[in-house]
Structure 1
Amino acid sequence: MCLPMQRVFLLFWGAMKKIFLYIFVVLVFAGSWAAWLVFGPATSFESKSKFLFIRPDKDVKTQVLDQMDNGLINHSVVFDWLAANASVWEKVKPGRFEIKKDENLFNIVRMLRNNTQSPVRLIINKWRVKEDFARQIARNFDIDSATAMQYFLSNDSLKTFNVDTNTLFTLIIPDTYFIKWNSTLPDIIGKLQSENDKFWQNDNRLQRAADAGLTPQQVYTIASIIEEETNKNDEKGNVASVYINRWHKGMALGADPTIKYALRDFSIKRILYGHLKVESPYNTYRNKGLPPGPVCTPSKITIDAVLDAPRTDYLFFVAKSDFSGYHHFSTNYAEHEQYAKAYQHALDEWMARKQKQ
C-alpha cells in the first residue's frame, strides 16, 4: 500500500508542478504585458510630438479621453484606469500638455497629475499693425482674433498697462517669450510689459533715454520709423539723429514709413505727392511732432541705435543712387536736393530698363 500511495503522490506532485509552472508563465506573461502597456510606447502618431489641450469650460475627463482616442495614444482604457487611480481627474488643470512620440502611459499620467504644462513659444519679430498681434494670439492661445482686436482697440482695457490703442506696441520688445497657453489677454500683455520693464532697466537705458531728452515711448516710436527706413544697422544712429534734430527744431519729421502706415499699404515702393495728402495723425509730412504711436515693433538693435544716436547737425537723408541701401545725410536742403535728384535719376533709369526687359 505504501508504494502505490507514494506513486500517487509523485504523480500528483508532478501534475501540480506543471500547473504551478503554467500559472507562473501566465503571471509572467500577464505582468510583462501589463508592464508593456504602462511603460512601453503608447502614442499613435508619427510626428515628433502632439499637444493635448484642456479648456476650462468643458468636462476635463471627457476632453482628455476624446483627444486620446483621436490620434494621441493607444490603449485609452488602460490610460483611463491609470489616470483614475492616480487622481488625475481631480488634480489636472486647464492648459496645454505636450506628448512626445513613443511616450509611455506612466509618464503621460504623471505629467497630467503634476500639471506639467507646455508653454507657448511666442516669437515676436516685426509687427506693423494690431491685426498682426491678434493673429499671433489666435494662432498660439485659446483666444480668437476678434476678441483680441476688441481688447486692443479698447483704451479702457489698456489703461491698466499705462498705454492706449496707439501706444500698445511700445510694451512689446521683439524676442521669444514662453507663456501658458490658457493665459488671458491681460496675462499675456502683463508678461510683455514685465519683460519690457526689464529691458528698459537693463544697460542703463532709462538714463540714456533721459539724457537724450526722450521718454521710453518716444524712443520706441522713433525706433519704429527707423526700423522701416533702413536695415543697415551701422547707419541707424545717423537716421535717428535726423529725426531727433527735426523734432527738437519743431520741423515736420517727413517720414515715409508713417505715410505707409497711415494708408495701411506697406507695399508702396515710392511715396508720391498724392500719398502725402492722406488725412491722418500719422502723416508726419502734414503734422509736426511724433506720430501718436509706433509704426511697427522695432528690434532691440534699433532701439539702442536711437539711445546711442550721435550728436549731428543732419536734418535730411536720402537713399544713395547706387542702390546699396545706404543713405546720404545732409545738414541743408540744397545739398539734400542734389542727392535726391541723383537718386531719382538713377531710379528712373532703372525703371526704364526694367520696362524694356
Structure 2
Amino acid sequence: MRLLIKFFLACLLLLAAAAGGLWWWASQPMTLRSSPLDFRVAAGSSLRTAIVDMRESGVAVNSILLALLARAGRADTAIKAGSYSINEGTTPRQLLDKLLRGKVTQGELTLVEGWTFRQWRARLDRHPDLRHDTAGLSEAQLLDRLGIRSSSLEGQLFPDTYLFDKQSSDLDLLARAHRAMRRKLDAEWSQRPQGLPYRSPQEALIMASIIEKETGREADRSLVAAVFVNRLRKGMLLQTDPTVIYGLGDGFDGNLRKRDLQSDSPYNTYMRAGLPPSPIAMPGLASLKAALNPAATDVLYFVARGDGSSEFSRTLDEHNRAVNKYQRGGK
C-alpha cells in the first residue's frame, strides 16, 4: 500500500513538474524569422495544420508543446481562421490566445466614389494585402465569376472603405462591393416616389452615375437630378459632358472638343436621346438618393459657377445669361 502511495505521489510530482515546465516554456519569447511576422490560418484548419503553416511562415515554435498547451486548455479545436501578425517577444501562450480570440490583422482598401471600374481595378491590382485571383481575367469573366447579369461592372460596385483579412481574395472583395451596391440600390428603389421616368433600378443607377460625375457638391445633387429627370420627362436630350467623355475612353486627352460632341456613340447624350446604355462610374449613396429623390423644381439647365457650385435655370434665356456670366466672363 505504501509503495502504491509513493508511486502515486511520484506520478503527481512528475505531472506537476511537466505542467510547470510547459507553463515556463509557454511564457518564453519565441524566435521569429522577422518582426513583425505575418501568417494566415485558412478556414477549417486544425491546430496541427495551423502549426505547420506558422512554422513555414517563420514562427519557431515547438509543435508538440504548443499542441499540449492547447489541449491542456481544451482549446485545440477552437482556433479562428484569419490573418495574424506577431512581434518579437511574443510567447506561445500569447500566440495561442490570439488564435483562440481571433485577433486577426486586417487590410484596408478605399474604393472611391466617381471612379470608373478601370480605376478601381488598377487600385485592387496594386494592393499588397490582397490575393490577386482576378489577375488575367477579362471583365466578362469577372461578371461570370461574380454571377452578375450585366454587360459591364461599371456602376455595379459600391464605393466604400473595405476591411478584409490579409491575403484574402480580391474576387471576394468585389463580390462584397457588388452585394453592398445591390442592397443600397434596392433600398432606395423601394422607397422611390411615384412618377419617376425610370423603367428599372438599372436606369436609376445609370442616372446616379451621371449625377456623381456632374457634381461633388451635396447641396446641388438633387437639383442636378431634377434637371436630368425633367429633361427625360420632356423628351429633351440630356446633353451631359461626362457621358461623352466616358464614351471616348482612352481617346479622351482631357480636353473635350466640339468634334467630340458631334461624334456619334451610344454615350453621346448630345446626339442620342435618353440615358446611356450603362453607368459611367461608381456612384455613392448620396447620388443614388438624389437620382431617386430629385428636387421638386422645373429647372432644365445648369452651368458651373467656377467655385464648385452650379447655377440652375428654368429657361434657355436664363441659362444663356448664366453661361455668359460664369463661363464667358460677361456681366
Asked if these proteins are the same fold (TM beyond 0.5), I'd say yes
Per-residue CA shift, 1:160-191, capped at 9, x if unaligned?
Answer: 333331xx244322223344556556644443
Amino acid at match of 1:141: L
Could you tell me which residue of structure 1 aligns to residue 223 of structure 2? Answer: 238
Per-residue CA shift, 1:120-146, capped at 9, x if unaligned?
Answer: 444322252323332344424212553
Could you tell me which residue of structure 1 aligns to residue 56 of structure 2? Answer: 66
Could you tell me which residue of structure 1 aligns to residue 157 of structure 2? Answer: 172
Rg larger for: 1
Q: In the comparison of the two structures, how many residue pairs are matched?
A: 302
Amino acid at match of 1:337: N
Q: Does 1:295 align with 2:283?
A: no
Could you tell me which residue of structure 1 aligns to residue 261 of structure 2? Answer: 276
Amino acid at match of 2:276: P
Match for 1:259 among 220, 244, 247? 244
The 1:199–1:277 alpha-carbon spacing in structure 2 relative to 1, beyond 3 Å, is: same
Alignment partners' CA distance in 1, 2:264 and 2:145 = 26
Q: Gaps spanning 5+ residues in structure 1: where?
A: 1-26, 70-75, 348-357
The 1:61–1:154 alpha-carbon spacing in structure 2 relative to 1, beyond 3 Å, is: same
Could you tell me which residue of structure 1 aligns to residue 190 of structure 2? Answer: 206
Alignment partners' CA distance in 2, 1:211 and 1:102 = 66
Alignment partners' CA distance in 2, 1:329 and 1:131 = 32
Amino acid at match of 2:183: K
Report which of the two has the higher share of helix: 1
**8 Å contact from structure 1 (residues 316, 332) kept in 2:** yes
Q: Does 1:325 align with 2:302?
A: no
Could you tell me which residue of structure 2 aligns to residue 72 of structure 1? Answer: none
Amino acid at match of 1:319: A
Could you tell me which residue of structure 2 aligns to residue 143 of structure 1? Answer: 132
Alignment partners' CA distance in 1, 2:297 and 2:28 = 69
Alignment partners' CA distance in 2, 1:255 and 1:272 = 13
Alignment partners' CA distance in 2, 1:240 and 1:266 = 28
Could you tell me which residue of structure 2 aligns to residue 228 of structure 1? Answer: 213
1:1-357 matches, within 5 Å, as 35=23, 37-40=25-28, 42=30, 51-53=38-40, 63-68=53-58, 76-78=60-62, 80-85=63-68, 86=70, 95-99=82-86, 102-112=89-99, 117-118=104-105, 120-126=107-113, 128-138=115-125, 139=127, 140-144=129-133, 146-147=135-136, 149-150=137-138, 152-154=139-141, 157=144, 160-165=147-152, 168-181=153-166, 187-200=172-185, 202=187, 205-208=189-192, 211-214=195-198, 215-264=200-249, 271-278=256-263, 280-320=265-305, 323-346=306-329
Post-superposition shift, 1:301?
A: 1.6
SS of the residue 2:272 aligns to: coil
SS of the residue 1:51 aligns to: strand
Per-residue CA shift, 1:313-339, capped at 9, x if unaligned?
Answer: 22221112xx22221222232332232
Amino acid at match of 2:196: A
Post-superposition shift, 1:236?
A: 1.1
Alignment partners' CA distance in 2, 1:327 and 1:319 = 4
SS of the residue 2:329 aligns to: helix
Alignment partners' CA distance in 2, 1:278 and 1:164 = 23
**8 Å contact from structure 1 (residues 60, 89) kept in 2:** no
Post-superposition shift, 1:310?
A: 1.4
TM-score of the pair, normalised by structure 2: 0.72
Per-residue CA shift, 1:214-233, capped at 9, x if unaligned?
Answer: 33322222122222222211
The 1:342–1:272 alpha-carbon spacing in structure 2 relative to 1, beyond 3 Å, is: farther
The 1:62–1:303 alpha-carbon spacing in structure 2 relative to 1, beyond 3 Å, is: same
Amino acid at match of 1:324: D
Alignment partners' CA distance in 2, 1:109 and 1:236 = 52
The 1:201–1:228 alpha-carbon spacing in structure 2 relative to 1, beyond 3 Å, is: closer
Alignment partners' CA distance in 2, 1:40 and 1:277 = 75
The 1:316–1:40 alpha-carbon spacing in structure 2 relative to 1, beyond 3 Å, is: farther
Task: Select the structure with the greater relative contact order (CA < 8 A; seq sep ≥ 6).
Answer: 2
SS of the residue 1:96 aligns to: strand
